[in-house]
Amino acid sequence: MALTRLTSLAPRGGCALWLIALDAPLCPGDTAMLAPDERQRADRFVFAVDRQRFIAARSALREVLGRAVGSDPSRIGFDYGAAGKPQLRGAMHLPFNLSHSGPVGLLAVATDGPDAVGVDIELLRDVPDAMQLAQSTFDPHECAELGAIDVARRPAGFLAGWTRREAGLKAAGTGFSATHTPPPTGFAMGRSTVRWPGALQARGTFATIETFALPEVNAVASVARLRAAPDEPATALARRTAMQELA
């Protein structure tokens, strides 16, 4: 599938979603709409492809948020949390999150309220050391779940689980850290809710995570929302496994 600069997807998790073609030619005003700190960050990239993708992602983010709040994209201001998660500056509270993998970006913007949003995308690829990586990141029960997936399909399962974990951490605004141990999030496709300890500061103590395939870009992605109460039982749900949906 040939992506346009911004391709709207079906909503998930109470969020509007867009794919961003990060290698598409930049528009004349893309760099100009960035804030000085964003332009300085872009200039620090060593490789031109990384600079291009950063500018494309940030200008697309500004374009979408500007439309959502009725503002000139260049006038959008951001504040940043302790782990670097951006949020809109000022009184307007519109949760959003941005992720990228190679030449593809994924943007999620909340449409159903102020609950925090996290999103992650990974292009499907071989991960020969999936089990070793899992053992350093996931708990023993999750590692056993991954080990039960057929070897040929294990990389897809691992990447699905990685997006689930990362989306939850990004929603909580903590990222990977020794002081914030996330709960088990598993490797299955579909939607489930888990209790997320230590997330009161992010307006929620439960994380609802939805994981889905993006065959148009050969990727898997997850969207997480932190909520003050679960919108479904906080238990494992019967759902398709990663190897079934991503096969």
Q: CA 166, CA 224: separation in Å to the nearest integer?
A: 9
Residues 199-214: what's their mean pLDDT?
Answer: 77
Q: Which residues contact 176 (CB under 8 A, 6 or more apart)?
A: 169
Per-residue pLDDT tens digits for 52-67? 999 999 999 999 999 9
- If DSSP codes are grouped into helix, strand and coil, which group holds residue 86? strand
Closest CA to 204 of 231, 177, 186: 231
Residues 204-213: what's their mean pLDDT?
Answer: 89
Give residue 176's pLDDT.
66
Give residue 58's pLDDT.
97
Contact 116, 14 (CB under 8 A): no
pLDDT of 241 strictly over 80: no
Give residue 199's pLDDT.
52
Give phi and psi for 231, each to the nearest 5. Answer: -95, 5
Can you spell out the DSSP letters for 165-227? HHHHHHHHT--SBTTB-PPP--S-SEEEEEE-TT-GGGT-SEEEEEEEEEGGGTEEEEEEEEE
Tell me the pLDDT band of 165, cut-offs 50, 70 and 90.
very high
Buried b (16+ CB within 10 A) or exposed e, 205-242: bbbbbbbbbbeebebbbbbbbbbeebeeebeeeeeebb
Tell me the pLDDT band of 238, cut-offs 50, 70 and 90.
very low
Q: CA 4, CA 2: separation in Å to the nearest integer?
A: 7
- If DSSP codes are grouped into helix, strand and coil, which group holds residue 109? strand
Give residue 247's pLDDT.
42
Residues 118-139: what's their mean pLDDT?
Answer: 95
Q: CA 86, CA 67: separation in Å to the nearest integer?
A: 18
Work out the mean pLDDT of the chain and round it to a whole number: 87
Residues 114-127: what's their mean pLDDT?
Answer: 95
Out of 108-122, 156-170, 197-211, which region has the weakest mean confidence (pLDDT)?
A: 197-211
Name the residue with higher pLDDT: 141 or 84.
141
Residues 63-74: what's their mean pLDDT?
Answer: 94
Across the strands, what pairs with 211?
190, 222
Closest CA to 95 of 208, 232, 229, 202: 202
Closest CA to 173 of 63, 96, 69: 96
Give residue 232's pLDDT.
55
Q: How many CA atoms lie within 13 A of 155 on its CB side?
A: 10
Give residue 152's pLDDT.
94
Name the residue with higher pLDDT: 180 or 87.
87
Residues 127-156: what's their mean pLDDT?
Answer: 94
Rg (C-alpha) for the chain, rounded Å, is 18
Residues 64-73: what's their mean pLDDT?
Answer: 93
Give residue 155's pLDDT.
97
